[in-house]
Chain A
Amino acid sequence: MTGESLLFGLSGVLTSSAPILFGVIGETISERAGVINLSMNGTILLTAMGSFAVSIATGSLGLGFLAGAAIGAIVALVVAFASITLKQSQVAVGFVLALLCRDLAYFLGNPIMGMNGPRLNLAPIPGLANIPVLGTLFFRHDLMTYLSFLLIIFSWFYMEKTKPGIMLKGLGENPRAAYVRGANVGRLRYVYTMLGGAIAGLAGPIYSLSVKAGWKGTISGLDGIGWIVLSITIFGGWTPFRAAVGAYFFSLLQWLGLVLQPLLPNVPSQVLQVAPFPLMILTLLLVNISSAEWVERSLSRLPESVRRDVARVLMAMNATPPAALGVPFDKDA
């Protein structure tokens, strides 16, 4: 492989990570506030179809993206209403929506299947795009890929450096303390679930209006991505930077699968495309294993010098979910 095609390949990895990043950061915001939005797989399919339909009907890409965000927020609103107001299981409602929105996307998208629609153009940044190596890698993308870079930085800044961001983490970590400090826990959870849903809802249009332009029904190749998004959210330990690492790592593996295909003629292409998933489980295991009881017990039996190193490695990989994730808040309880 030449250096140039390697560079284009890596640049493509950044582009194909953009929708996953929007999904993962949206989900991270929602889960940080204490609400699991398990509908992600349906949300991404429905927003992909809906935004494509709106762009065809109006001829406007902007309205298409807006429709995606709106649909994502509405689906999240259903999760919030059923779980916060009606105290139903978040997992149950989210799972139903994951299937329902997928089927709605296929049903409503039937008439626009295979149609030609508008597509987001590349927007190389003048000047910067001509820098050798870095220009190709970072500055020859479309608008949404640039926004995906900014999204990582902004969401990190908001959560770590601003007052409302710290309150956001309090909602999922210790809602009682947030309530005592004057936060309206229920209302704020609504807001962040819907905000997270809207951000994740942009993942759909990024596919249908850019990365995998168009709507092809069940062969769009989008079914399953939402479940990946949920796994990467955990891998990311509910922090934007680590989530970004997970998203890029996943896209890199998928790209490697394509690149390695000609070198491994005996391995069917369908297998290489799903190769990242087993690795995903392995990472989930590594991320979680230090909290298992038997690990702690066997660690304590190791000699001091070894134990410290092993514990340090495990702690570095460890990710603890927000303490009140999925737990309804009742101020009178």
Chain B
Amino acid sequence: MRDSKTTRILFGAGSVILALALTSAIVAATGNDPFLAYKNILQGALGSPNVAGNVVVSWVPLLLATSGLLFTFTVGLWNIGIEGQITLGAIFSVWAMRGLENSAVAPGLIIAISIIAGIAGGMLWALLAGALKTFGGVNEIFGGLGLNFVATALNLWLIFGPWKRPGVASMSGTLPFDPKLWMPTLSAQSRLAPIPLILAILTIVIAFVLLKGTYFGLRLKAVGKNAKSAYLLGIPTWQHMMLSFAICGAFAGLAGAVQVTSVYHRLIPSISSGYGYTGLMVAMLVNYSPVFAAPVALFFAALNVGSIQLPIVLKLDSSLAGVIQGFLVLFVLIGNGARIKLLKKKEGRS
């Protein structure tokens, strides 16, 4: 057995089948028909142009987060703080919107400024995690987790404090903006906005080009593989780490700004909606390759949107989507490890 394309595909397929089999067994154990559940998810994701549009709406922030994470993963960083970076992007975006909504500035320009503010917010939060790591010696995982909590606290404080709705503040968020400040959608019924979609596709293309086709990408990779050797070879190590944090934070902030300007039109408590953590899963599943990131992110978005109606139709919890995603990533990791171990054993014998 060689480490050929066939072996890789066989192990990959085996991992996916195992993941689906285990998920099915768990659904069956709760006394439900797994195939009925899958059929429901499929219908919920593709059953009508409307829900299919929602899948794309959910794909946009997920793809933005994943594209950003490809940079931090390449340089060897675990940017778990991405959830907070999305939240800060949303907060900054709302902040800009509130400052300009009653001014004479053209609505289109207000939306653009709001998006740029969001990018700046996400970048700022990511650089904070980077500074904690570089100058404070705080591991980016724990600094990032802490900053996620701080971002959540800041968000809640704004919703229930200074930015609360006239009257009673509530978990439903701040007062929605005037519809003229909403990002234009395909049609009046659709929630799908073309501009964010184009931006998201642009970011994954940027990630692909920079990581696969430039010396910059190669240097990031060198730092990620062996920071000490890279440093000795003259690559400024921490500067490259900070730069990847900044890029990832910018993309995450853009995701938050998109949620504000084109999906919710206000600030809500769970504005990041777990897109950052799901993005980490997507990046791991595609083994940090920008080629497969987009289709896998689309698949994950379809699972998330498709499972929304599970509680209503089948009385199943919508977290089934997360269970499928989790088992997929877990078994792919295990499959990778098993393949390498088996290959080594064979090598040892021959």
Contacts and interface: CB of A to CB of B under 8 A. Distances in A.
B62 to A, nearest CB: 14
Nearest to A270: B156
A284 B329 CA distance: 30
B78 interface: yes
Given A38-B141, A270-B156, A284-B138, 10 more contacts: A81-B334, A86-B340, A88-B336, A95-B78, A95-B284, A96-B330, A99-B277, A101-B326, A110-B30, A270-B157
Interface residues of B, number: 50
Interface in A286-315: 288-289, 291-292, 294
B142 A274 contact: no
A82 B333 contact: yes
Contact of A267 (B138, B149, B161, B319): B161
B320 A95 contact: no
Contact of B153 (A93, A271, A284): A271
B316 A107 contact: yes
A106 B317 contact: yes
Contact of B142 (A86, A217, A234): A234
A96 B333 contact: yes
A284 B156 contact: no
Contacts of B321: 103
A46 B303 CA distance: 22
Interface stretch (A18-26, A170-178, A180-188, A224-232): A224-232
A270 B80 CA distance: 23
A288 B320 CA distance: 39
B320 A92 contact: no
Interface stretch (B85-93, B129-137, B191-199, B252-260): B129-137
Nearest to A292: B137
Given A87-B337, A268-B157, A271-B157, A97 B330 contact: yes
- Centre residue among A266, A271, A281 by max chain B CB count within 10 A: A281
A86 B153 contact: no
B146 A86 contact: no
Nearest to B154: A271
B317 A285 contact: no
Contact of A99 (B145, B161, B326): B326
A86 B335 CA distance: 9
B153 A92 contact: no
A92 B334 CA distance: 11
B38 interface: no
B137 A87 contact: no
Interface in B147-184: 147, 149-150, 152-153, 156-157, 160-161, 169
B343 interface: no
Interface string A209-242: 0000000010000001001001100100000000
A154 interface: no
Contacts, number: 153
B21 interface: no
A284 B334 contact: no
A100 interface: yes
B68 interface: no
- Centre residue among B26, B169, B316, B334 by max chain A CB count within 10 A: B334
Interface in A254-290: 266-268, 270-271, 274-275, 277-278, 280-281, 284-285, 288-289
Nearest to A268: B160
Contacts of A268: 156-157, 160-161, 169
A108 interface: yes
Interface string B318-346: 01111101110110011011101100000
B281 interface: yes
A192 to B, nearest CB: 21
20 contacts: A38-B141, A87-B337, A88-B334, A88-B337, A93-B330, A96-B284, A96-B330, A99-B322, A103-B320, A104-B323, A107-B323, A110-B30, A234-B139, A267-B157, A270-B156, A271-B153, A275-B153, A277-B150, A277-B153, A294-B135
B161 A266 contact: yes
A91 interface: yes
B306 interface: no
B317 A274 contact: no
B26 A278 contact: no
Nearest to B338: A86
Contacts of A271: 153, 156-157, 160-161
Contacts of B78: 91, 95
Interface in A93-119: 93, 95-97, 99-104, 106-111
B258 to A, nearest CB: 23
Contact of A100 (B146, B326, B337): B326
Interface string A2-43: 000000000000000000000000000000000000100000
B249 interface: no
